[in-house]
């Protein structure tokens, strides 16, 4: 079936109207009867022992209903994996960064809650702190976590092929180091959580999340209550970018306050808290050593990456691996050695982010440009000679079934007029190319698959239940589109129940880019099963073979004789009159190597599909000020199959904004002894609409053999390839290969000045 009614068609998102009219409710908008205001007391020290806490004065303050400390907890520690459980939700022994959670307060209003924080007396014994990962590895001071010597949180080692032997065969070898500081998500919606315990002592909780089932399990563990007693509820979410996947201490503290007071509690973060109290992207120091033959084909590569992980593990093993994996998927590098170190420091916690590894990826692509220049090879040709091909295996053993990397490179180059511009632009004008890949999922055990349920209502409309979360990228629209296509209905006929642990089956959420591939496929399977039941009933009405029926535009008709038809509404009612309800379930579990593990065994099939993207950027640079003006952007990605091109184009534009315009020109954090100096949008420069260049989005379809309708991840590859292209374009414009990101005006002016002095 390729003649789709809805799939592949441009259609507005179903949630657009509610959002633009202000009708969509976010957690901060919730108002529950008797709701209290919650606030969190945070550590003023980067590293200190907690000697004692006195909450008596705070409790005596009129209007204060509860104060909680670590003594009120079950002492459970959080970590994505058993071997990374190092974070208490409220600290009992010591704090490890400025902003660490020490206590929580619930009061009748915000003013009283804030006043109560001032009345909590905490006695600290200040300890030496370390803020640089290289120093943290060598310091003699007390380790941040006693069980992790040298403050090494995670070490990922990947070694494939005959690396040393192939370096000996290389015609040309380069070794370069690249650096990038931390960056933040800066969601449109600051973090907020609301919680209450119902009449049956079940926890009901609302918060931004990347997957409700990924939040309910940690809360169940933390409270030591059965999983079915934790109900993570559906709520509108204002952005994720990798930053809504994990449990947040505020979730637990809010719920604990609700339990202690017997009343609903809501905590809303300030912008400062939203920066330091959630997650940030990792700072990185990356060294790439690459050996190539005379034609520029990579024979061997060795990469060492040191990542500033902050105070706790978070998604440590995943975060340490993904930058490398994205590049091994994009480029052939059968002989490769990777050592990734995630180091504890006394800074806020780091996690996954949409542009994770900008220093890593931009460094690798910059080095390819250096090698290409040395060998006299065009950068586009350099990438084509090393790009991933369909059917190949990555160096760690994942087969790539669909891949149109070459097509994205060629189409982007053609749209950007690369041949007419590279090496032929005016002074201080430049053009750069970036290529990247993103995996569509990875092994997640029992949470790696999705299950959906579809039922017809007596009016001929249908209800779809799915655990998939929409963080703003259009997942709800995707589910409705798939269900309507399969059932022969219109989008307005589909009623979606999603992202609620009480009503939906297990699903990984939007974690690891699998919403369409796994969650969408589960809905497709459930809808197809439901349609078959509908056809069984319609076949009796039409006196036809169920296998020769088609559903479209609310009608069921005989495929070869469309005049013989019956409405879906009538078919459903006939089924009900015969005491048969029309409903079905369906699921999908990706076929991956469940023995693959991030640290102990980083080999085997990681996922079923990979996306591939190419971005080309053209810039001009003011040599006196270092100001970069982006003249044109071309973003091209292999998405498998574009279910809704309109949504994908929006994703491409957002990726260029976050990965390139912000991620490579303006976004970074300044620090002073562990204190973030630019935690708000006033100082942290997120790009505005007026800063954005004209963007040409090009969708390439490789039709993945395992994705729903051939679809796979769409958008993430553009974010990182945009960062790489911005780095290449600026380097090309000023004639200096930059090795420190982002490319701020001071760095650019310094590079130009140094080049001029060297020329003299």
pLDDT confidence bin for 446, thresholds 50/70/90: confident
Q: How far apart are the first and last CA of the chain?
A: 68
The bridge status of strand 77-78 relative to strand 87-88 is antiparallel
- Beta-sheet strands, E only, within 168-271: 172-180, 192-197, 203-206, 230-232, 265-268
Distance in angstroms (rounded) separating the CA atoms of residues 394 and 384? 16
Distance in angstroms (rounded) separating the CA atoms of residues 317 and 307? 11
Q: Retrieve residue 730's tokens.
A: 């600026």
pLDDT for 738 equals: 98
Contact call for residues 311 and 349 (beta carbons, < 8 A)? yes
- Determine whether 373 is exposed, middle or buried from the number of CB atoms within 10 Å of its CB (0-12, 13-18, 19+): middle
Mean pLDDT computed over 37-56: 98
Tens-place pLDDT, residues 558-595: 999 999 999 999 999 999 999 999 999 999 999 999 99
Alpha helices in 266-357 (DSSP H): 271-276, 316-330
Least-confidence region, from 22-26, 122-126, 155-159, 345-349 = 22-26
> Under DSSP, is residue 487 helix (H, G, I), strand (E, B) or coil?
helix
Return the number of other C-beta atoms located less than 10 Å from residue 420's C-beta: 9
pLDDT for 735 equals: 97
- Beta-sheet strands, E only, within 293-428: 298-310, 336-344
Q: What is the DSSP letter of 490?
A: -
Q: CA 393, 697, 515, 282 torsion: positive or negative? A: positive
Tens-place pLDDT, residues 499-527: 999 999 989 988 889 999 999 999 999 99
> Under DSSP, is residue 556 helix (H, G, I), strand (E, B) or coil?
strand
pLDDT for 141 equals: 86
Tens-place pLDDT, residues 201-218: 999 999 999 999 999 999
Percentage above 90 pLDDT, the chain: 93
CATH annotation of 445-588: 3.30.365.10
> Under DSSP, is residue 535 helix (H, G, I), strand (E, B) or coil?
helix
Delimit the CATH 3.90.1170.50 region(s) of the chain: 31-127+189-238+244-276
Whether the per-residue pLDDT at 108 is higher than 70: the answer is yes
Average pLDDT along the chain: 96
pLDDT confidence bin for 2, thresholds 50/70/90: low
Mean pLDDT computed over 63-82: 95
Task: Please name every residue paired with 630 in a beta bridge, in sequence order, or none if there are none.
Answer: 619
Q: Which fold has domain 31-127+189-238+244-276?
A: Aldehyde Oxidoreductase; domain 3 (3.90.1170)
Contact call for residues 80 and 315 (beta carbons, < 8 A)? yes
Delimit the CATH 3.30.365.10 region(s) of the chain: 283-443+596-759, 445-588
pLDDT for 528 equals: 98
pLDDT confidence bin for 631, thresholds 50/70/90: very high
Whether the per-residue pLDDT at 760 is higher than 80: the answer is no
For residue 594, what are the CA distances in angstroms to 315, 391, 485, 706? 18, 21, 33, 18
Distance in angstroms (rounded) separating the CA atoms of residues 80 and 96? 19
The predicted model scores a pTM of 0.96
Mean pLDDT computed over 271-281: 95
Q: Does domain 283-443+596-759 have CATH number 3.30.365.10?
A: yes
pLDDT for 1 equals: 45
Contact call for residues 288 and 363 (beta carbons, < 8 A)? yes
Mean pLDDT computed over 681-710: 96
Distance in angstroms (rounded) separating the CA atoms of residues 77 and 152? 19
pLDDT for 445 equals: 85
Which residues are within 8 A (CB) of 155 and not within 5 positions of it... i.e. 6 or more apart?
Answer: 320, 339, 340, 341, 342, 599
pLDDT for 511 equals: 83
């Amino acid at each position: 079936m390729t003649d789709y009614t809805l799939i592949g068609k441009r259609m507005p998102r179903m949630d657009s109207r509610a959002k633009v009219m202000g009708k969509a409710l976010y957690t901060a908008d919730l108002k529950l009867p008797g709701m209290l205001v919650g606030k969190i007391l945070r550590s003023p020290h980067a590293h200190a022992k907690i000697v004692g806490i006195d909450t008596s004065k705070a409790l005596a303050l009129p209007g204060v209903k509860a104060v909680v400390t670590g003594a009120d907890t079950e002492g459970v520690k959080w970590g994505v994996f058993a071997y990374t459980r190092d974070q208490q939700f409220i600290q009992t022994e010591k704090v490890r960064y400025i902003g660490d959670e020490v206590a929580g307060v619930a009061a009748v209003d915000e003013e009283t809650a804030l006043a109560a924080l001032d009345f909590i007396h905490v006695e600290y014994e200040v300890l030496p702190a370390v803020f640089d990962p290289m120093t943290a590895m060598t310091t003699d001071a007390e380790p941040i976590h006693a069980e992790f010597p040298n403050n090494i949180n995670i070490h990922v080692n990947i070694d494939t092929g005959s690396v040393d032997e192939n370096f000996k065969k290389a015609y040309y070898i380069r070794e370069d180091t690249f650096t990038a500081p931390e960056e933040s998500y800066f969601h449109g919606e600051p973090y907020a959580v609301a919680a209450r315990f119902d009449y049956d002592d079940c926890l009901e909780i609302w918060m931004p999340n990347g997957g409700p089932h990924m939040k309910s399990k940690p809360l169940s563990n933390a409270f030591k209550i059965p999983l079915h007693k934790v109900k993570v509820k559906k709520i509108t979410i204002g952005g994720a970018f990798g930053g809504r996947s994990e449990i947040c201490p505020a979730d637990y503290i809010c719920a604990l306050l609700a339990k202690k007071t017997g009343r609903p509690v809501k905590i809303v973060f300030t912008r400062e808290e939203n920066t330091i109290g959630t997650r940030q992207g990792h700072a990185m120091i990356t060294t790439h050593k690459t050996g190539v033959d005379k034609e520029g084909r990579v024979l061997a590569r060795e990469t060492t990456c040191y990542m500033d992980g902050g105070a706790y593990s978070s998604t440590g093993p995943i975060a340490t691996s993904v930058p490398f994996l994205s590049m091994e998927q994009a480029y052939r590098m059968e002989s490769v050695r990777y050592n990734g170190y995630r180091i504890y420091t006394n800074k806020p916690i780091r996690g996954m982010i949409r542009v994770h590894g900008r220093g890593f990826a931009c460094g690798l692509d910059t080095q390819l440009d250096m090698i290409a220049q040395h060998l006299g090879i065009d950068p586009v040709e350099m990438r084509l000679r090393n790009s991933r091909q369909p059917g190949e295996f990555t160096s760690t053993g994942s087969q790539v079934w669909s891949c149109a990397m070459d097509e994205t490179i060629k189409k982007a180059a053609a749209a950007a007029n690369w041949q007419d511009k590279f090496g032929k632009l005016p002074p201080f004008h430049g053009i750069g190319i970036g290529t990247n890949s993103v995996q569509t999922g990875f092994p997640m055990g029992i949470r790696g698959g999705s299950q959906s349920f579809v039922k017809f209502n007596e009016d001929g409309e249908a209800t779809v239940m799915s655990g998939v979360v929409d963080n703003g990228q259009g997942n709800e629209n995707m589910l409705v589109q798939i269900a309507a296509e399969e059932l022969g209905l219109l989008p307005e006929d589909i009623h979606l129940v999603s992202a609620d642990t009480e009503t939906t089956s297990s699903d990984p959420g939007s974690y690891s880019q699998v919403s369409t591939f796994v969650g969408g496929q589960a809905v497709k399977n459930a809808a197809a099963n439901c349609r078959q039941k509908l056809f069984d009933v319609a076949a009796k009405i039409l006196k036809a073979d169920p296998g020769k029926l088609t559903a479209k535009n609310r009608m069921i008709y005989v495929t070869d004789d469309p005049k013989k038809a019956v409405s879906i509404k009538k078919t459903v009612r006939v089924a009900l009159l015969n005491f048969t309800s029309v409903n079905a379930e369906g699921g999908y579990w990706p076929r991956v190597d469940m023995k693959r593990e991030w640290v102990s065994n980083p080999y085997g099939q990681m996922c079923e599909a990979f996306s591939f993207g190419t971005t080309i950027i053209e810039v001009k640079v003011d040599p006196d000020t270092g100001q970069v003006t982006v003249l044109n952007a071309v973003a091209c990605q292999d998405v498998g199959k574009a279910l809704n091109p309109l949504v994908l184009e929006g994703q491409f534009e957002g990726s260029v904004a976050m990965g390139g315009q912000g991620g490579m020109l303006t976004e970074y954090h300044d620090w002073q002894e562990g204190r973030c100096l630019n935690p708000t949008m006033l100082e942290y420069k997120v790009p505005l609409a007026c800063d954005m260049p004209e963007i040409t989005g090009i969708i390439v379809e490789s039709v993945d053999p395992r994705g729903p309708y051939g679809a796979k991840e769409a958008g993430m590859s553009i974010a990182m390839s945009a960062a790489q292209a911005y780095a290449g374009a600026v380097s090309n414009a000023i004639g200096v290969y930059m090795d420190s990101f982002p490319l701020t005006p001071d760095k650019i002016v310094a590079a130009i000045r140094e080049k001029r002095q060297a020329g003299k």
